[in-house]
A and B are shown apart, each in its own frame.
Chain A
């Protein structure tokens, strides 16, 4: 390959890209960038559904003994909220980032299997429609996103909501697995010459490890959903105790998927943070090897921790201790990452763009969620706090304070690449501060509510001392958070039309996606820059101070 000394210029006019964007162009597309954008747009729609569901729940819980919603409606809302946010928002939006960015980062023309990529997306969307069709069919699922048997069995949930849920999960699961296979094949086979695994950008590393988690975790929930469907419709007895089945078996299947799923939702966010923090600190990542290896460690350990969701089941002390130790162990590679990111910032020149603000806030918010996770690994404390609002606070600090802050950082970081326009930084700052205030106001107090004895998944609660104002605070916070997202959506809408032109590399970043135009042409690269290290654009722009010459391993 010939060495080139100037960055590639945009190969086509942005307006041309616009004119090609007819509906059929999208629906029939096998281009990884279009599919990725469809993943993200569908996730935004589902996020609005899930967010409105959350706000309705918070309205119901604002005051004690409230009758704003019926218990049936409330149960449907929290079931849909959990299922939506996990299966239809977090995972697909991260797969969207993966399918957009990973091929560009490794200098590829597209994903390894472009048609499989389209299949994965459309199956996910079909699963989402199945889940929401249950509302039109007259009965949304109301047994919780965890669908514990025997409550989810026909005897206790006789209407069709659970069936729609199970079928939706199956469709989503198959789609997600096919996209994961695709990402692995892409990273394994389509890296540009020179990009060894040791030079692979960390976001691509984490997307690949994440894809292995998906391949090994999703089949457990898919098998379980199929068994549940058979139980309900063909009168099998997998999960009912009366004929030798076991409700606990469902929990093993579910959490054997469910805990790796947590890492499926956080690893790509770790990847985003690992890209954003170095770029805006103007320093290469500190301890690339530890960051990548700790990801693999998390991936392996994540399959040995599932029963920490089941300490209250009464599996016996030896079993509990095994899974407690596994859960404590997984905190170590997670902690390594946090410290590596902090040391990356140390001595840097930190530019507080909105992307960086979200990344820095991620470090603190996610640490809160990680530390309360350690608390749940301590079996006797889990015996007290599991299934209370303390746990609701914990998962939201992990999945919102962690994953969602990472996603928002990624949105502000890569939006210029997706669209060729910059998001407004002024609106971005509003978005950021409203998110931080709203998020912490909503969820921090829930730690206290849980410790004060409030169980989760209750549609209302008695007027116990202090519960009222704590719940009211949480509700007010939720609406501030909702407003923060209106600012984000307005920013996206406005900037897409009227934002400043971004140019190829507005952040002076170093990975290959910034070495092509914004948005990239359909073929991605006319010519891919040579890769001699982890930061190809840096090496290209600073031939006297390449990473290899500065002492970084290449």
Chain B
């Protein structure tokens, strides 16, 4: 997994924050050097070495005091001007633009809805490169916060409200982010993956996600489908075309096309999928995914089925 630094911006929004950040950090650094330099110099220069008389008191100097009132005020005023300008460029008005992606924060996973294309996915969101995308932000339970540092600002997702932020990516890559508002037990495992693709790849991904996966007719996968429908899986999860419509947990329609499981906790390989289904409480303690105490055979069947969901 790669890191996600505010110092490696990959969108115009993140770049404008980056420039401001560097400017302010340098300004603050200079002030810190000035203050600590004065403190350390005074500490050394005026240390008691014995034999000094009583130092001459200095009760005040209006001119000096006004100077260090006004100079910082001017610097802060300049910073505020840049602040307002950067707010415009990093968080431009949304106007009547419709949401390209609607994100719903859940304890402890992300629901991504593509309203134009008409499908729902989870935890990994795909976007085309060089195309600003408007993300609508909502929450199903408590407050979450959507933050992908390399692509733009964060914003809280507050139940009962609808926030909107712009994100974009200037290069095809996978960008990682995380929930940035404490949302309960598994706040730590609410990672985000943003997969930026060329426009063609994005279009084909969209097309593939819109498809309803074929139902396996026979074999282990068919047994797995049966189990999925009969056990309590379907209470919480949806797989299009199987008659399931649970909304408590992530939509699994194209689960096998995702790179990670459980909001970034595990890699999406058959082995790790098996482990996750076997003991979700070990890998993500506190998660709402229950341990169904499945037998080895049941686990193999369900994994075989889920692996068909490309």
Binding site for B on A (CB under 8 A): 70-72, 75, 142-144, 148, 150-151, 155-156, 241-242, 246-248, 281-284, 286-290, 312-314, 317, 320-321, 324-325, 328-329, 331-332, 335-336, 338-340, 342-343, 345-352, 360, 363-364, 367-368, 371-372, 374-375, 377-381, 383-388, 451-453, 455-467, 547, 550-553
Contacts and interface: CB of A to CB of B under 8 A. Distances in A.
A283 B58 contact: yes
Nearest to B158: A247
12 contacts: A156-B142, A246-B160, A283-B58, A287-B61, A314-B137, A332-B73, A335-B68, A388-B180, A457-B182, A462-B264, A464-B3, A550-B59
Contacts of A460: 188
Most central of A72, A320, A364, A380 by chain B CB within 10 Å: A380
A156 B242 CA distance: 31
B126 to A, nearest CB: 20
Contacts of B1: 462-464
B72 interface: yes
A144 B87 CA distance: 29
B3 A452 contact: yes
A229 to B, nearest CB: 19
B39 A360 contact: yes
Contacts of B38: 342
Contacts of A286: 58-61
A451 B4 CA distance: 8
A150 B55 contact: no
B55 A375 contact: no
Contacts of B48: 282, 349-352
Contacts of B153: 380, 383-384
A289 B73 CA distance: 19
B97 interface: no
A143 B43 CA distance: 44
Interface in B179-226: 179-188, 191
A547 B59 contact: yes
Contact of A70 (B21, B84, B87, B285): B285
Interface string B29-70: 001100110111011001110001011111111001100110
Contacts of A288: 59-60
B55 A371 contact: no
Contacts of A456: 182
B252 interface: no
B20 interface: yes
A517 B91 CA distance: 63
B30 to A, nearest CB: 10
A336 B107 CA distance: 46
Contacts of B149: 384, 453
B286 interface: yes
B233 interface: no
Given A335-B72, A380-B87, A284 B59 contact: yes
A451 B6 CA distance: 6
Interface of B: 1-7, 16-17, 20-21, 24-25, 28, 31-32, 35-36, 38-40, 42-43, 46-48, 52, 54-61, 64-65, 68-69, 72-73, 76, 79-80, 82-84, 86-88, 90-91, 107, 137, 141-143, 145, 147, 149, 153-156, 158-161, 163, 176-188, 191, 264, 285-286
A375 B25 contact: yes
A377 B154 CA distance: 16
B124 to A, nearest CB: 15
Contact of B20 (A71, A150, A380, A387): A380
Given A328-B80, A342-B39, A247 B21 contact: no
Given A328-B76, A342-B39, A384-B17, A553 B59 contact: yes
Given A242-B160, A332-B76, A453-B178, A317 B5 contact: no
Q: Which 9 residue pairs of A and B lie closest in terms of their CB atoms, listed nearest first?
A: A241-B160, A383-B153, A458-B188, A453-B4, A552-B59, A371-B28, A457-B182, A151-B142, A287-B60
Most central of B58, B61, B158 by chain A CB within 10 Å: B58
B182 A144 contact: yes
A148 B178 contact: no
Nearest to A247: B158
A381 B24 contact: yes
Nearest to B54: A282
Nearest to B157: A314
A431 B264 CA distance: 43
Given A345-B42, A380-B20, A368 B32 contact: yes
Contacts of A242: 160
Contacts of A455: 147, 178-180, 187
Contacts of A71: 185-186, 188, 285-286
B170 to A, nearest CB: 17
Most central of A70, A455, A462, A463 by chain B CB within 10 Å: A455
A284 B58 CA distance: 7
Contact of B83 (A348, A360, A379): A379
B46 A349 contact: yes
B250 to A, nearest CB: 19
A325 B155 CA distance: 20
B108 to A, nearest CB: 10
Nearest to A460: B188
A374 B24 contact: yes
B17 A380 contact: yes
Contacts of A368: 32
Contact of B79 (A247, A289, A328, A467): A328
Given A142-B185, A350-B42, 5 more contacts: A241-B160, A314-B158, A332-B73, A372-B28, A378-B20
B5 A346 contact: no
Nearest to A373: B28
Contacts of A465: 2-3
A288 B72 CA distance: 20
A340 B177 CA distance: 43
Nearest to A347: B55
Most central of B141, B159, B163, B180 by chain A CB within 10 Å: B180
Given A287-B61, A289-B60, A453-B177, A151 B182 contact: yes
A453 B154 contact: no
A524 to B, nearest CB: 28
B94 to A, nearest CB: 11
B79 to A, nearest CB: 6
Given A384-B154, A387-B180, A388-B180, A156 B2 contact: no
